[in-house]
Amino acid sequence: MIQKCEGIVIRRTDYGENNKIITIYTREFGKIGVMARGANKPNSRLSSVTQLFYYGYFLIQRSSGLGSLSQGESLDSFRHIREDIMSTAYASYIVELLDKGAEDRKPNPYLFELLYQTLHYINEGFDPEVLKAIFEMKMLAVFGVPPVLDRCVNCGQTEGEFDFSIREGGFLCHRCKRIDPYRIQVSASTIKLLRLFYYFDLNRLGNIALKEETKKELNKVIDAYYDNYVGISLKSKKFLQQMHKLDGLW
């Protein structure tokens, strides 16, 4: 049976000389893999449909194994992402991170909307480094390792000065800092942003402008938390870091 779904291409792989296997994150079915036969042939009607970040409607012949792609209808080309190398790098990391965290064939409309909104904002020219941090914070719940950000992880107090403890998995107030000598000391604004990025609705995003020092603090906390609790190595992340090192940002 052929079914229609709304989705975004998050991974693609050549299969044989003319075919592609693409992974689509869909609103209706979650993450699915489909065969696009002949997509690599010249003038194939599936050539554009199978591009990374393609967002549209897909007609798919679903099965218990790998489905088959019949056709697609574009909803947004994300042109800026495709034409700007930094935007492409950030978007590549976003879709790879989602691919690692999302389960196959498990619908999650919230996660689909998060993916779409993040790519949409990158395409619209919002700061991709801020969007990356927001997406990473929200993906922690998907990976099943949510940090404690609404209180001190040790005593439960919500008032005071806080640092971030990787070992304890969240905020430590000034009363409890002594329990983790390796806690990460960050500014009060970074503490607020970590909490905000985790909880707030991305649809309400304004054009947030952050100091480079604040971005570095956010990256330090988020990277350390991912290394300790998620433990994945992504090619797109390494590429992004290499590009920033060339610019002297990381």
pLDDT of the chain, 250 residues: tens digit per residue = 899 999 999 999 999 999 999 999 999 999 999 999 999 998 999 999 999 999 999 999 988 789 999 999 999 989 999 999 999 999 999 999 999 999 999 999 999 999 999 999 999 999 999 999 999 999 999 999 999 999 999 999 999 999 999 999 999 999 999 999 999 999 999 999 999 999 999 999 988 899 999 999 999 999 999 999 999 999 999 999 898 777 655 5
- Tell me whether residue 125 is exposed, middle or buried, using C-beta atoms within 10 angstroms of its C-beta: 0 to 12, 13 to 18, 19 or more: exposed
Q: Which residues pair with 205 in a beta bridge?
A: none
Confirm whether pTM is higher than 0.85: yes
Torsion sign over Cα 179, 143, 234, 215: negative
